[in-house]
């Protein structure tokens, strides 16, 4: 088997592994293996093929890491109202328990079920309406409602 075919086989295996891993980094290393195949097809010696494959693979990986695709999403789904529709909704808490050195907690009815509720705002919370800021499992993290109301969609006329 010719050397360029071996390089293409390695690139194919890396692309297959990339499909299962879901990242683009193995794809960048496969690009380096493809460049090694081109170098082998051009008749370069094995050390030069390795050098070309390494330089292209590392360069592509660095370029990916610096690009927009290499940066992970900075949004936290538990706090993002575009992902979790409960964030930003209001909940009424009747009574709080105030532990020493911890967060105030309560049980409150929301969407027809009892939820654990923790206060994440400053100071001691009072009973009343609170805004859901984040959801962790079956616990709603709430704070006093924000001063600016959420925009309501306008009805079409």
Specify the CATH number for the domain of residue 108: 2.40.50
Q: Are residues 107 and 52 in the same domain?
A: no
Q: Provide the residue count of the chain.
A: 157
pLDDT at 23: 79
Report the Cα–Cα distance between both ends of the chain, in Å, rounded. Answer: 72
pLDDT at 101: 66
Q: Are 105 and 81 in contact (CB under 8 A)?
A: no
pTM attached to this predicted model: 0.48
In a domain, 149, yes or no: no
Handedness of CA 96, 102, 103, 109 (dihedral sign): negative
Domains identified in the chain, total number: 2
In a domain, 102, yes or no: yes
Query: Last residue of some domain: 16, 51, 66?
Result: 66
**Residues 59, 57: Cα–Cα separation, whole Å:** 5
Q: What's the maximum distance between 2 C-alpha atoms anywhere in the chain?
A: 79
Please give the residue range of the domain that contains residue 48: 3-66
Q: Are residues 13 and 61 in the same domain?
A: yes
pLDDT at 10: 95
pLDDT at 28: 94
Low-confidence ranges of the chain (pLDDT < 70): 70-75, 100-101, 147-157
In a domain, 78, yes or no: no
pLDDT tens digits, 87-119: 889 999 988 887 766 778 899 999 888 999 998
pLDDT at 75: 66
Q: Are residues 96 and 62 in the same domain?
A: no
Between helix 3-21 and helix 46-66 the angle, nearest 10°, is: 20
In a domain, 22, yes or no: yes
């Amino acid at each position: 088997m010719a050397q360029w075919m071996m390089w293409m086989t390695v690139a194919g295996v890396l692309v297959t592994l990339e499909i299962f891993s879901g990242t683009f980094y193995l794809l960048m290393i496969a690009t380096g293996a493809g460049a090694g195949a081109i170098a082998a097809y051009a008749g370069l010696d094995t050390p030069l093929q390795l050098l070309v494959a390494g330089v292209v693979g590392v360069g592509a990986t660095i370029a990916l890491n610096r690009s927009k695709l290499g940066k992970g999403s900075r949004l936290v789904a538990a706090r993002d109202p575009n992902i979790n529709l409960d964030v930003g909704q209001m909940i009424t808490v009747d009574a709080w328990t105030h532990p020493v050195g911890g967060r105030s907690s309560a049980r409150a009815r929301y969407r027809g079920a009892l939820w654990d509720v923790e206060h994440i705002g400053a100071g001691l919370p009072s009973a009343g309406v609170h805004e859901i800021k984040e959801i962790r499992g079956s616990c709603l993290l709430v704070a006093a409602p924000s001063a600016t109301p959420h925009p309501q969609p306008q009805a079409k006329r």
